[in-house]
Structure 1
Amino acid sequence: MNYLKFLILALFSSTLLNIQAQEKKSYKIQTVAFYNLENLFDTINDPTKFDEASPMMELKTNRSKVYKKKVHNMARVIADIGFKDTQNSPAIIGVSEVENRDVLEDLVNDSLLISRDYGIIHYSSPDVRGIDVAMLYQKKLFTPISTSSHELKIYDDLTSKRVYTRDQLLVSGNLDGDLIHVIVNHWPSRSGGEARSRPKRVAAAKLTKHLVDSLQVIDPYAKIFIMGDLNDDPTNESVKDVLKTQKNKNNVSFKDVYNPFETFFKNGLGTTAYRDAWSLFDQIMISKPLLEKDFSSYRFYKAGIFNENYLTQKSGQYKGYPYRSWGYGGFTDGYSDHFPVYMYVIKEVEN
């Protein structure tokens, strides 16, 4: 089934989580998610890209076998996100670190996902590593209306040479009849150090903010999801100051953005680890109309980090870290060096 009808004893409080038993209502629930697929490259050398430096192309043997297992592992995770609560995979999932449309076709046609009938929205970007962002959607739940790719033009502050990075993807469409907008990001990395690389992510945030502003000019009540691997935490300048995010739903003004992942971060949780420190680079944020209490259309219910036990390294130096696909010895049979993140949205249905 494409939604879960679940009964809630409700009058919803302002937090939506404190529920008082008054009357029975039924709701549809859908999952919106994001996942960094950690170097999902195919086995074919593309002369137009620097893919020969990818972990897949560096393998000397068994590339085809490893590729199929990597794709299957990614499909397992996507199939599982939100399933316990919705009995379905995500209606919409943004992804990053994919080489091309071909790997996405293989992913959605994996045995674990093919029944979901995912559509693909993907544009090739000028990233120097040859990686892109994309969005997958269940065709029975989401109908795209418009899609566009937005180039981020940034330059190295020392050499003044252009830094080629990922474009930002904007998708507008109907989620089960509700018009929504999704911006999928993979902001510039911290290569060269956090401070030196910070202006690049601030520039990326300004591009995202421009897209949000443009949508709100057309419709001030636009339901907007901003998602991605930002390479910044929820408290960094790019997120807090440029996107004007709030961690408390009650403090979100009309043009502000709500970021539930700031609370997770301040509680010590993360989606990726480095040198025994957690970062929460993977986030989903929303515009204020998704926080309204009129559940005749989809509204925010809750957010989470999908850190199931099988996605965690069980032993060794990196015990407790995300169980990544690639290590110094090649393919680990793991998943990704990032945990996925997700958000549930719900709307009331007639009993």
Structure 2
Amino acid sequence: MLNKFAIGFYNLENLFDTQNDPNIFDDDFTSTGDLKWNNTRYDKKLADLSTIIAEIGKEETGISPILMGVAEVENKKVLNDLIGTAALKNLNYDYVHHNSPDERGIDTALLFNKERFSVLESRSYSLQLKNTEGARDFTRDILYVNGTIDGIPVYVLVNHWPSRREGVEESNPKRILAANRNREIIKEIQSKDPDARILIMGDFNDDPQSIAVRENLVSTDLYNPMVFLLTRYAGSLTHRGDWYLFDQIILSPNWMKAYENPLEYEKSAIFNPAYLAEAEGKYKGNPLRTYAGDHYLGGPSDHFPVYVIFKSGNSSY
């Protein structure tokens, strides 16, 4: 019988520690800041997020995810605290993280199960963006990780693309640039490994049908298994009553091969059990956020996680 495992992605909504870092603007996320971010709230968020991560894909596979891309983490301390929680500390997780120059001080990272995934190489790729005045617009780097799943080489790109805060059309060129940067990295990978198994995951701040994702990133040679998950009633986040699916995992085609495939794609899903959502009122069903503006709600995140299930032909697992 073929074994199954999950790979996921989760935007953790501003996972900051409570200490002020003079090098980034994290003043709000301190006990004296506007958000009154203290150890009690921090510990609750860590406990909630770790419990959720441990459950992603478990119903289908019987195990917690073997890879988990995350966005909006401040630093290595919060990652150490996350994998050290009661829900994760016995699951053999480690992580890959590189500091990026983002103005908000948030980065991406990749959690991995050390029994199933071995890191061979990692680095970060920067995006050279300009603001309206022509100065450098600092944003999140693309995290590149090359490793093996059960001995089989894979390449993972973890993204958090520029936001839509300036407006969708106004900010679209930045996300197109981010998509093109991913394509450059993919081309570089394939020049050395033509049959490379590649996963491109992240919060793209764009839906599967948005130009930057559909045309610039996926194009004709990658596969986006999340394209049908977005409906009027479901997605990974909401804004002003509408659902969006900014959180996606995109695959190179060799994950899709059905014959003699040691790591074969099976399904994709949004992880949205009722306990992750608002229970009542105007926002019923929406992700239960940590903050709405500066009002503390105490939820885990303003995004739902997404994940992909694969079948493994390795009989030792």
Q: Is TM more than 0.5 here? A: yes
- Contact 2:9-2:306 at 8 Å conserved across structures: yes
Question: C-alpha offsets along residues 258-303 of structure 1, whole Å, 9 cap, x if unaligned?
Answer: 0011111257531000111011100000001111123441111111
Unaligned runs of 5+ in 2: none
Residues 330 and 127 (structure 1 numbering): CA distance in 2 closer, same or farther, change over 3 Å? same
1:22 is aligned to none
1:326 is aligned to 291
Separation in 2, partners of 1:109, 1:102: 10
- Contact 1:271-1:340 at 8 Å conserved across structures: yes
1:11 is aligned to none
Q: Which amino acid aligns with 1:96?
A: A
1:128 aligns with 2:103: yes
CA-atom RMSD in angstroms: 1.7
| TM-score, with structure 1 as normaliser | 0.86
Separation in 2, partners of 1:243, 1:231: 13
1:196 is aligned to 170
2:150 is aligned to 176
Q: Tell me which of 204, 215, 218 is aligned to 1:244.
A: 218
1:212 is aligned to 186
Separation in 1, partners of 2:37, 2:255: 47
Moved more, 192-201 or 320-329: 320-329
Q: Which amino acid aligns with 2:54?
A: A
Q: How many residues align?
A: 316
Separation in 2, partners of 1:144, 1:300: 21
Work out which of the two has the higher radius of gyration on C-alpha atoms and give 1 or 2. Answer: 1
Separation in 2, partners of 1:261, 1:151: 26
1:273 aligns with 2:238: yes
Q: Tell me which of 84, 93, 98 is aligned to 1:109.
A: 84
1:89 is aligned to 64
Unaligned runs of 5+ in 1: 1-25, 246-252
Question: C-alpha offsets along residues 50-87 of structure 1, whole Å, 9 cap, x if unaligned?
Answer: 01134876357570111111111110110110111212
Moved over 6 A (4+): none
Separation in 2, partners of 1:349, 1:95: 27
Q: CA deviation at 1:126?
A: 0.4
Q: Tell me which of 273, 277, 288 is aligned to 1:312.
A: 277
- Contact 1:91-1:138 at 8 Å conserved across structures: yes
1:8 is aligned to none
Residues 24-103 of structure 1 correspond to what in structure 2 (within 5 A)?
A: 26-54=1-29, 58=33, 63-103=38-78
Greater RCO between the two (CA within 8 Å, min separation 6)?
Answer: 2
Separation in 1, partners of 2:134, 2:286: 37
- Contact 2:231-2:243 at 8 Å conserved across structures: no
1:291 is aligned to 256
Q: CA deviation at 1:241?
A: 1.0
Separation in 1, partners of 2:151, 2:34: 46
Q: CA deviation at 1:327?
A: 2.3
Q: Which amino acid aligns with 2:252?
A: S
Q: CA deviation at 1:244?
A: 3.1
Separation in 1, partners of 2:226, 2:261: 26
Residues 221-240 of structure 1 correspond to what in structure 2 (within 5 A)?
A: 221-240=195-214
Separation in 2, partners of 1:203, 1:349: 38
Q: Which amino acid aligns with 1:282?
A: D
Separation in 2, partners of 1:318, 1:97: 23
1:307 counterpart SS class: coil
Residues 137 and 226 (structure 1 numbering): CA distance in 2 closer, same or farther, change over 3 Å? same
- Contact 2:232-2:242 at 8 Å conserved across structures: no
Moved more, 136-145 or 292-301: 292-301
1:65 counterpart SS class: helix
1:143 aligns with 2:118: yes
Residues 165 and 349 (structure 1 numbering): CA distance in 2 closer, same or farther, change over 3 Å? closer
Question: C-alpha offsets along residues 155-212 of structure 1, whole Å, 9 cap, x if unaligned?
Answer: 02x3111110000001011111111111000000001100000000000001111111
Separation in 1, partners of 2:146, 2:89: 24
